[in-house]
Chain A
Amino acid sequence: MKVLVAVKRVVDYNVKVRPKSDGSGPDLNNVKMSINPFCEIAVEEAVRLKEKGIATEVVAVSLGAKNCQEQIRTALALGADRGILVETDEDLQPLAVAKLLKAVVDKEEPQLVILGKQSIDGDNNQTGQMLAALAGMGQGTFASEVAIDGDSVSVTREIDGGLQTVKLSLPAVVTTDLRLNEPRYASLPNIMKAKKKPLDTLTPDELGVDVAPRVKTLKVEPPAERQAGIKVESVAELVDKLKNEAKVIS
């Protein structure tokens, strides 16, 4: 079966992003860009399905500006077979991404689509669910375990109270949580090989999708700063402060 994996180019998770001083947007000048950590987990899961002989082909798709090719190449180096870039300079919001992915799904007809549960820039946590709804598929979000069984997939999901398992008929959408797997590192030979793997480019126009943003960012600002407090010398002093100064315990 064919597996489609979506990968997003985001600011590296080690970067502490700050708003620009004029409040027009986050300051992303010269920051390191990487593949979104949840997307990396999605790629790893797809590649493992291929290694188990369940998946026959893994297709990595990214959407955005030309430089998203870097993240597709990362996915190819991790073991995906070929890449698709839907190229646009438009600010893509989750609904537009979901519509574009739906169009790619219609073309490629994968049995399973794996995405990260959220990207660490927008923190929206929407795209996989939106894609599933648009494509009329079931969804296993926040997955910590994925087991293919014939024409269905069992997904163990991380929910507020613990774990939930659902069974979905294929084709289906899975979004990854942190504990689904630990992604491998790409080896140098695989990085070299990835450069030769096929990478097709499409545009939103070719896919017939209107990607106009629906939500406008009016301004951005830093969160309320916390004042660093004081250091206490002992547990006794700590308990005293909590009781008599902060009055949060009695």
Chain B
Amino acid sequence: MSILVVAEHDNTEIKGATLSTVAAAKAIGGDIAVLVAGEGCGAAGEAAAKIDGVAKVLVADNAAYGHQLAENLGELVAELGKDYGHVLAPATTTGKNFMPRVAALLDVAQISEIIAVESADTFKRPIYAGNVIATVQSSDAIKVITVRATAFDAVASEGGSAAVEAVDVAKDAGKSEFVKEEIAESDRPDLTAASIVVSGGRGMQNGDNFEMLYKVADKLGAAVGASRAAVDAGFVPNDMQVGQTGKIVAPDLYIAVGISGAIQHLAGMKDSKVIVAINKDEDAPIFQVADYGLVADLFDAVPELDAAL
């Protein structure tokens, strides 16, 4: 059986989550084709052809796919997906948006956010905010799957030499149009790809105080995240939220500052290799998952940490 992986890309480069999704496809086993759908996405298609383990790259270059609108992408992937045993995409906000449409159009279930491949039809996935891991088996002919990127080690982005084929299928459902995007510009690494993440919670008290964390992050080459409490309070924008319904991160080092550790937050970061918690409440649940806990006022500890680095 062959596997179709839908690439996440920006028309020029392939996003890291795609490489982890290819790794999941390898674990399933079979010929791997990667679909690059976009507008002016030739460069991304060329990049996809170099990914280790990829046999074929399909490039669907059309204005209808320019902003990854779910209505159009869903129809395209459903049509191409009929010829495959598995259709995989990263569980990013893009993948989560269009993949259920693909499953519905193919009349199959979707298996969301798999974290392990047991066999070609059996997978592990977290439920209940990661407090329970379910092993699930699909009886559908085509398995439509989203992949939690942090659970699979990315394959090499170089070394492959797949054939590139143009797909001349224009699917414009005519139901939706792109209006605008407000993307946060940052020189810091992407939250989901960073090897170190520094996150702030309600204890930060306001958005200005996040400056302290940015300073520490810049010394460590880290990304900055936040708990839901900090986002809801308006300290920082939504794209910084780490947790069950925000971003899932698993860096080498996660530093939680002024975060109490609600289960919904832990669901987004507890697979980090090393966890540090700085909190003045010694009973905060975050200390139960922290490798190194420091009971201290963050307004003393963070500047001190900044100075020590």
Contact = CB atoms under 8 A, between A and B. Distances in A.
Interface of A: 11, 13, 16-19, 26, 38, 93-95, 98, 117-118, 120-134, 136-139, 141-142, 144, 154, 157-169, 172, 177-179, 214-223, 226, 228-232, 234-236, 238-239, 241-242, 246, 248-249
Contacts of A217: 134-136
Interface string B120-153: 0010001111111111111110000000000000
B180 A235 contact: no
A37 B102 CA distance: 26
A223 B101 contact: no
Contacts of B282: 231
B100 A215 contact: no
Q: How large is the interface on B (under 10, 10 to 19, 20 to 34, 35 or more residues)?
A: 35 or more
Contacts of B100: 94, 125-130, 133
Given A159-B94, A162-B184, A98 B104 contact: yes
Contacts of B196: 248-249
B128 A120 contact: yes
Interface string B219-238: 01000000010011000011
Contacts, number: 258
Given A26-B132, A122-B127, A235-B308, A160 B287 contact: no
Given A229-B292, A231-B287, A238-B292, A216 B131 contact: no
Given A132-B101, A216-B136, A229-B291, A167 B177 contact: yes
Nearest to A169: B175
A228 B287 contact: yes
Interface in B168-210: 173-184, 192, 196
A129 to B, nearest CB: 4
Contact of A165 (B74, B137, B179, B245): B179
A42 B296 CA distance: 40
A242 B132 contact: no
26 contacts: A16-B131, A16-B263, A17-B128, A26-B127, A94-B100, A95-B109, A121-B127, A128-B100, A129-B97, A130-B103, A130-B110, A138-B176, A163-B238, A164-B178, A164-B180, A164-B181, A167-B176, A178-B228, A217-B135, A228-B289, A230-B293, A232-B294, A234-B294, A235-B296, A242-B274, A248-B253
A236 B308 contact: yes
Contacts of B132: 17-19, 26, 220-223
A222 to B, nearest CB: 7
Given A218-B137, A229-B293, A249 B232 contact: no
**Which 6 A-B pairs rank lowest in CB-CB distance, beginning with the nearest?**
A138-B175, A129-B100, A229-B291, A133-B101, A130-B104, A214-B109
